Amino acid sequence: MNRPELDLRQLYAFAVVAEELHFGRAALRLGTSQPPLSQQIKRLEMFVGHTLLDRDTRAVRLTEAGATLLAAARKLLDDAAIGLAKTRQAGKGEAGILNLGFTATTAIQILPLILGRLREKHPAIHVNLIELLPDALSEALDTKRIDAAIAREMIPQQQFEYVPLAHEPYVVVLPSTHRYAKIKTRLNLQNLAAETFVLFPRDRTSRNSDQIIEMCRAAGFSPRIQQEAPGWQTAVSFVGSGLGVSVLPACVRSFVLPQVIYKDIDTNITSTISLIHRAGDPSRLVENLVKIAQSAATRAPA
């Protein structure tokens, strides 16, 4: 990086005179008087070693050296202004790079709302999206690979802060040929005690599977797990293939398959989606993300 040789204030004064081609008008724009402005231009010419402005009693004209310096001055002044504006934006958390982790189950409804609101409010923030399973997501947050995460039913860890964004009801996923497929009322989980289930593998940092198992136990039975599925779309597909039934948050209704039907459950238990970040993180980017995520969550369909 080269050390700058010129004072930006001198360059700006010269650019104003070069644009006006009149010392009186230039002095008015700069909020000064003509004599000190003329002296400033003379000092600049002495520093450059060439005449920048030809002036007589009738007119002021740029020399070839002056025209060259004017082009450079405009670029330097514009770059400095843009750089300063970006610096101020970054200082306020309104610009920069945000590495945001998410689990696939949050990408159906809440994540698109947050990203849309973020682009609307702070378009200078560039978001790197990283999809991870819950265990890997917690590790990435702990090792600072990501700045924040959107996930559901995460087991609290002391080093993280959890900001609840939404509480989503569960639904039962049934094959369209199931005997309960046409009932109009809410389904009691107890009616599924004899069924085999398609659920997620258990992991260390998420209660997704444990919550569903607890719901079944509260209904008086332990679910017989026929098949584990790594993702929700896969789980819904497995149900449609006849491998069992499942219990999933209601946003899976967006997966429309002719072989599958969704039924409301007679329970008040919900799945909680949270924004997670490192406790005590001073990042203004994360601070703004929290505010925007909370605002966006209010737009999420119930």
The string of pLDDT tens digits covering residues 212-261 is: 999 999 999 999 998 988 788 889 999 999 999 999 999 889 888 899 99
pLDDT in tens, 162-201: 999 999 999 999 999 999 988 888 999 999 999 999 998 8
Mean pLDDT for 125-152 is 92
Residues 265 and 172: beta-carbon distance below 8 Å: yes
Residues 38 and 60: beta-carbon distance below 8 Å: no
Give the pLDDT score at 47.
87
pLDDT in tens, 48-102: 889 988 887 678 898 998 889 899 889 988 888 788 777 777 777 777 889 999 9
pLDDT exceeding 70 applies to what percent of the chain? Answer: 96
Give the pLDDT score at 159.
94
The pTM is what? 0.72
Give the pLDDT score at 232.
82
Domains of the chain (ranges; CATH) run 8-91 (1.10.10.10), 96-164+274-297 (3.40.190.10), 167-271 (3.40.190.10)
